[in-house]
Amino acid sequence: MDLVLLVAASLYWFLPAPTPIRSIAILPLRGGSGDIEYLTDGLTDSLIDSVSRLPNVKVISRTSVFHYKGQEVDPHRVGQELDVGAVLTGQVAFHGDSVSVSVELVKASDNTHLWDKQYTRKLSAVAAMQSEISQEIGDHLRLHLSGAQRRRLGTPPTEDSEAYRLFLQGMYYILELTPEALETGRQYCEEVQAHRGYSICLRAMGRADEAVAADKEASELDPRSVEGATSLGWTFYYAHRYPEAIGEFQTSLAMNPNLPGPQQGIAFSYLQRGMEKETIEAFQKFITTSGNAELASEMGQAYARSGFRMAMRKFWQTALDIDLESARRGETSPFIIAGLYSLLGNKEQALSWLEKAYTDHSSKMLDLKVDPDFDNLREDPRFVELVQRVGLP
């Protein structure tokens, strides 16, 4: 018996630990139609968003995975097409005032079953259920999460179930990218005060002061939220209130200094203020945190050798090359590519990629009217017409 225990202990300590899975496609949940389609689509979007915040894991964008909506799919084939290590599929069923969500996680390389579970909750607890699913996905990807990361994943986006339902309905319509749908979405987000969703709508329509007020109210309800401060920072940024944007991004970094999102926000805010030295330093920090210390060093060298404009041009071109390859794998929105072409002064390519983003119903198109990246396109009739097509006043 002692020998058996010794062998078991040896196997435990010396067998290699399971390798973490570093990429995943979360496919649209099935089962929603008609009046409840907003819930299945919204839950899918929420899962994509929350799992995207996990460290060192690639999550395929909404644009790419929604091409599979309504299809019977083979996870192995999807894994090959999207170049991911795991695929999550799921089914939603409704029973009176309750909802059941069944999910299955599959290793894409060989269709190995990794995990499955069924959750049944009251409709009023959907937000909490979404957070619970996200947390278990992280666990079963075999990621080594810190206690803070697990808590953040397990924290519902809001305690107000009605506000969450209205937010999901609002975003469902907003992402149709038509004038009528945008107005319907705005009305949903404006009801039981779904502040952050309402702020997104107001920001998209250029109502900057109202957007800031709505986002501030959301942040006041959750003052220790890193995501809340970052969201408010971008709202200030799109309102062209750059000093206040920097302040909010710095608040986010005070809570977690290694977040690339707020670092990126600070860099872009310095850029818009014309603060050249600070812009270079902030971009170097953002690039290093994102995992490309070599590019950060090259950017500094280009600045010292050739000046600010050439250093930024080198960065935009390198970022474009990386993102074009990423876009081919469905990991980067065409809207991002369009912005980089615009910053490089290539208007034709920028407009072409904006058309792709519109066709793909990219959620980032909501910032088309206010994103400073496209300031050099504002007077182009094709850009004006596209803004009108999206439904932005």
CA neighbor of 172 nearest in space, from 201, 193, 199 = 201
Mean pLDDT of 350-375: 89
pLDDT tens for 219-236 read 676 666 677 788 889 999
pLDDT at 339 over 70: yes
pLDDT for res 15: 43
Sign of CA dihedral 67, 199, 338, 385: positive
User: Beta 23-26 vs 98-107: how paired, if at all?
Assistant: unpaired
Give the integer Cα–Cα distance in Å for 357 and 335: 5
DSSP H helices in 28-67: 37-51, 62-65
Q: pLDDT band for position 177 (50/70/90)?
A: low
Q: Which amino acid is at 219?
A: S
Give the integer Cα–Cα distance in Å for 354 and 316: 17
pLDDT tens for 41-85 read 888 888 888 888 777 788 888 878 888 888 888 888 988 888 889
pLDDT at 270 over 70: yes
Q: Where are the domains of the chain?
A: 23-153, 158-207
Give the integer Cα–Cα distance in Å for 236 and 33: 37
CA neighbor of 241 nearest in space, from 273, 219, 280, 216 = 273
Residue 86 host element (H or E): strand 86-95
pLDDT for res 8: 45
Q: Which of 24-33, 189-198, 314-323, 330-339 has the highest mean pLDDT?
A: 314-323
Q: pLDDT band for position 299 (50/70/90)?
A: very high
Among 3.40.47.10, 1.10.287.3510, 3.80.10.10, 3.40.50.10070, name the CATH number for the domain at 23-153: 3.40.50.10070
